[in-house]
Structure 1
């Protein structure tokens, strides 16, 4: 056998040895990947087909094409739900990001028991929104709630909170901020610890005040984290459901009915599953557009 043939055989063997670890890794990952992708793609495709029919969850119904999507344009209740969702998103997303940044700056300080404080602020985030909603019902109960008890002790009038038409949505935002601010705080804290110390020290040596260092050095370094959090929190806000379900059920007078809760009511209470699927796909398109726009603006 010639030297060239031996060299070629050696190269092939070396290539197979390099490929073996990758094939082994795919062997472990592939089954789970197939299951996850299958459980994601099949429901999405089924929901798309369902949105083109007028059936319920029990029968297939008749094919109506894009009629469900055309009906969305004239649905006043859907427009109201979209308005409530917009109000919630406008209040929750900037509020959670700003509060998360402030907490992260505080939790980045070197003080005693800092690990305990970090854990305390993150624990509400890992608690399910359903549990948070059940707890909020007791805390903000107009008659027996802890908050109104404190207001009465201070000589202040009791408030309706979740049962008041003007206060219900604001109360939901406050509950969401309490439960959701841990995520931005942790992300910002990790980003702060990745900022090279030389940058901030150089800015201070050059005479920069603390607020100038924060504005011109720290915040620009946090821009990727901010873009990620804006997208993440926007998606979370647009998908609000479980907190509404466990607290107000969309009341009073549908003032807290958001898009996903309205979708749930159409699909699972009124059995207009085709119409509900159409709402879900429109919401998906809106979420994708908003996320893409935020990413595009954040990377410019």
Structure 2
């Protein structure tokens, strides 16, 4: 017969063995907290600058858009009156039309010119570094300098453009002094400086195309055009969306070239939205009305950007 032996019960006052793991985790947590505080200490000055130069002015501008203020007398709260006045302001809608014309002229041309130049510079030829640098130099130059130099280039009396026309036996043009040509000339000026940006972006994207795909296309008998259209171009979709959105945002904010060349003329044919709000705020001293125009421009820019991003994601061309 088997005898079962009962183990003695453990005493009630037996020492409880504690897990040393929490004690070990305390120094780790302290180090994480210290690292986090150190990181925020480095980031905080930049955040203060960003908040001070962007978010605070934006909030103040929105508050001004709801007021009537000339910078001297006490501000008067008028609610949405500035916005409703904009909707019936013929001068504002003319500025909107001029800005839309500039966007239509400039954005497609800058994207296509950048793509063409990038393809041309994506080669291993002699002095290719010099050519790439020369293309990018106009982008580094200030828009004010570009406007001043272009004014002499397109001067109707002694400008280089009309001198070339005279040599070719063509009639001279009014250029910046002709209301029907002034916006086109400004678009050409912008294209000369801003096409370099799209060129650099496209060139970087072209250099990231796998060489195996290009070699496979050539082995299959595809020529250069077929290789570009069937292999390279589909991979440039996200880049195209990005540069298009970037150039649209920049085109909607056109001001410096207009200010240094035509001052909105001739006959207000080059007055853009930004130039319009600058006149209202800093010449007419109607800061509330100018701020309202700025926020309308912001809303339009935001809607266009969001619409293009949604379109890109539906086409699986996520660029952001």
Q: 1:156 to 1:31 in 2, by over 3 A?
A: same
The 1:289–1:2 alpha-carbon spacing in structure 2 relative to 1, beyond 3 Å, is farther
Give matches, 1:1-300, under 5 Å.
5-18=19-32, 20-300=34-314
- Judge conservation of contact 1:169–1:255 (CA < 8 Å) in 2: yes
TM-superposed CA distance for 1:27, in Å, is 1.6
- Contact kept in structure 2, 1:53 and 1:60, CA below 8 Å: no
**Would you say the 8 A contact 1:51–1:68 is kept in 2?**
yes
The separation in 1 between residues aligned to 2:118 and 2:37, in whole angstroms, is: 42
TM-score, with length taken from structure 2: 0.90
* Structure 1 equivalent of residue 318 of structure 2: none
1: distance between equivalents of 2:304 and 2:81? 25
Instruction: Identify the range of structure 1 (7-16 vs 235-244) with the bigger mean alpha-carbon deviation.
Output: 7-16
How far is 1:4 from its partner? 5.0
The Cα offsets for residues 9-49 of structure 1, whole Å up to 9 and x where unpaired, read as: 22232343355444333221211112212321111111111
| Structure number with larger C-alpha Rg | 2
Change (3 A) 1:3 1:31: farther
Q: Aligned equivalents of 2:118 and 2:36: distance in 1? A: 39
In the alignment, the residues of structure 2 paired with residue 249 and residue 295 of structure 1 have an alpha-carbon distance, to the nearest angstrom, of 34
2:129, 2:204 → 1: CA distance?
14
Q: What is the root-mean-square deviation of aligned Cα atoms in Å?
A: 1.6
- Number of residue equivalences: 300
Of the structure 1 ranges 9-18 and 162-171, higher mean CA displacement relative to structure 2 is found in 9-18
2:6 aligned residue:
none
> 1:81 touches 1:262 (CA, 8 Å); kept in 2?
yes
Q: Contact (CA 8 Å) 1:107, 1:118: kept in 2 or not? A: yes
Report the counterpart of residue 7 of structure 2 in structure 1.
Answer: none
Sort the Cα spacing of 1:17 and 1:140 in 2 relative to 1 into closer, same or farther, 3 A.
Answer: same
Quick one: distance in 1 between partners of 2:69 and 2:256?
A: 26
Partner SS, residue 68 of structure 2: coil
Shift of 1:8: 1.9
Cα distance change, pair 43–112 in 1 and its aligned pair in 2 (3 A): same
The separation in 2 between residues aligned to 1:4 and 1:101, in whole angstroms, is: 68
Q: Deviations over 1:183-202 (max 9, x none)?
A: 00000111111111112222
Secondary structure (helix, strand or coil) at the match of 1:249 reads: coil
Distance of aligned partners of 1:272 and 1:6 in 2 relative to their CA distance in 1, 3 Å threshold: same
Question: What is the rounded CA distance, in whole Å, between the counterparts of 2:35 and 2:152 in structure 1?
Answer: 55
Inter-partner Cα distance in structure 2 for 1:83 and 1:2: 82
Structure 1: runs of 5 or more not aligned: none
Q: Structure 1 or 2: larger helix share?
A: 1
Identify the range of structure 1 (23-32 vs 286-295) with the bigger mean alpha-carbon deviation: 23-32
TM-score (structure 1 length as normaliser): 0.95
Shift in Å, 1:206? 1.8
